[in-house]
Amino acid sequence: MTAHRHREHYLVGLVGEGITVSLTPPMHEAEAAALGLDYEYRTFDLIELGLRAEDVGRVLDEAKRDGFAAMNITHPCKQLVLDLVDELDADAARLQAANLVVFDDGHLIGYNTDWIGFRDGLTVGLPDASFDRVLQIGCGGAGAATAYALLSHGTTRLGLCDVDYQRAQNLAGRMQALFPDQSIVAVPRAALDGGIAGANGVVHATPMGMSHHPGVAFDLSLLRAGAWVSEVVYRPLQTELLRRAEERGHPVLDGGRMAVGQAYASLQIITGTVPDRARMERHFRALVGAEGRSHSGGSSR
């Protein structure tokens, strides 16, 4: 992880679609203030700006001209920026996705901190878990980052399942090329139950469970005793999947760990200063809690 030079003032942005409610800006600004940094974070919502995803280059050009230190990148631009940077960090190159672009003396460097966020969440949130055999449901952008994190963390047998079997096969092929000594296989939907029953843990990496997309992706009665369950969704922090898993006595890892972890890594890369992870975690959970109380008319949940 490369740390960049200190600045008197950090101007940072986030570009993507539907990001006006993102919690990344307040996370960055609060932690930067606690670290004593002069740090300003702006959002560039492509929908509100009337721009297409393919116009992300224009946003980066303007940010570069205006003296930005960095831009976080989110859906649907994480692949599009690959052709716009001068250099890619090794992990971003392997993942073929970047969620952070740093401006270094006019030189654009792309990074991927999504996978770092998930990997560190596994370490902190599931310290005693076994990661030997894992089944992952969902092979989109988030799924690529979580798969890469699992394999980097030591998973020796990873099963990948998706409603689009070809997408699962493609991700399995990409990961197998990067981790030739580990076993990565695409799992057909028809074989999902058996994959879950044989796994030490299950990662759920689809939008199911979000406030506007309720549901549970698999039958939790299939889990072996002690198997853990992880989510990438963090709105809400406790999805129906995690609630049911906890009720059955399984260790769980909510999507907030990944959200905080990617912000932590991004902030460190941008400023060269080591943030306080626990403090960022507390602030993030306070933000989500306040959001939940607001949506429920002031009552706690």
295: phi then psi, degrees, rounded to nearest 5? -70, -20
From the list 46, 203, 14, the residue with the least C-alpha distance to 122 is 203
**Is the preceding omega at residue 76 within 30 degrees of 0, hence cis?**
yes
Known catalytic residue at 78: yes
- Strand 100-104 vs strand 70-73: parallel, antiparallel, or unpaired? antiparallel
3-state secondary structure of 2: coil
* Helical packing angle, 256-271 and 24-34, nearest 10°: 50
121: phi then psi, degrees, rounded to nearest 5? -65, -40
Q: Alpha helices, DSSP H only, in 83-140? A: 90-95, 114-125
The b/e string for 48-59 (b: 16+ C-beta within 10 A; e otherwise) is: eeebeeeebeeb
Tokens of 185: 């296989």
Most distant CA pair in the chain, distance? 57
Cα gap 248→251, rounded to integer Å: 9
151: phi then psi, degrees, rounded to nearest 5? -65, -35
List C-alpha distances in Å: 114 to 43, 111, 183, 211, 264.
19, 9, 22, 22, 10
From the list 96, 94, 114, the residue with the least C-alpha distance to 255 is 114
Which residue among the candidates 28, 78, 119, 257 is catalytic per the annotation? 78
Which residues does the annotation mark as catalytic?
78
